[in-house]
Amino acid sequence: MLFNPTRDEARRFFIDAWQKHTQQAPLTDLERITVGVLLRHPEYQRFLTPDYLDRDWPPEIGETNPFLHISMHLAIEEQLSIDQPAGVRALYQQLCAHYGDEHAALHLMLDGLGEMIWHAQRHGVPPDPNLYLDILRTRLGQATSRD
């Protein structure tokens, strides 16, 4: 069975994980990973209340949706833990070495993941992991599979 939460369920999970963290309550493994992401993003911690469950962050206003950003971080954490798509972990390590900053490397990956998703939506095709890997290779100045 796939885990496919609604927008509200995902947001509530982030809020609950943060609340448990601030209360020093025991965390599940996924909550611990989530809190790790949230600790690297203090600018989003103020949104971790039920007051923001229904708020939208349309791209036109130029603000980053904190819940989407956290979700994408978690997606990349999962990719790295299982090296899927194959080779993504090595590219992450190369990005870290190249840019000298793990968090900057993660944000480059978020941008690449977002670009792949945008491409799939725009063209009505499934997400292409090879496109994603090529975007990361481009960030490193490497040849891509499309060259």
pLDDT in tens, 122-139: 999 999 999 999 999 999
Distance of CA 90 to the CA centre of its chain: 17
Query: pTM to 2 decimals?
Result: 0.89
Four-point Cα dihedral 79, 82, 86, 89, nearest 10? 70
What is the phi/psi pair of residue 105, to 5°?
-65, -40
pLDDT in tens, 20-53: 999 999 999 999 999 999 999 999 999 999 999 9
pLDDT for residue 88 = 97
Residues in CB range of 81: below 8 A, 6 or more apart: none
pLDDT for residue 146 = 63
pLDDT in tens, 74-105: 999 999 999 999 999 999 999 999 999 999 99
What is the phi/psi pair of residue 122, to 5°?
-65, -40
